[in-house]
Amino acid sequence: MNKRKKIIQKSIEAANGLSLGISIIVAIIIGVALGYFLKKITGLTFLFWLGVFWGIAAAILNVYKAYKAQVKSYEEFQNKK
């Protein structure tokens, strides 16, 4: 693999890592915002915490999906050898 291809591959890997981090933060922010909105509408405090839980669960799901994609990619790489 030449130097240019290595640089491009490293850039793609870095972008994937950055997008995962951003998706974690966005999922949590959306969950907190949803919980805050539901609390303001209904006045029930537990709905805020439910929104926080949804945001954290969504972030964990994003990490799990990224992990599964990496495992699949690694297995394809192993099969090509």
Segment 1-48, tens digit of pLDDT: 577 777 777 777 767 767 888 889 999 999 999 999 999 999 999 999
> What residues make up the domain containing 76?
3-80
- Contact between 56 and 28 (Cβ < 8 Å): yes
What angle separates helix 45-80 from helix 3-42, to the nearest 10 degrees? 160
The count of domains in the chain is 1
Q: Can you give the pTM of this predicted structure?
A: 0.73
Radius of gyration of the chain (CA): 19
Measured CA to CA in angstroms, residue 14 lies from 27, 50, 71 at distances of 20, 33, 17
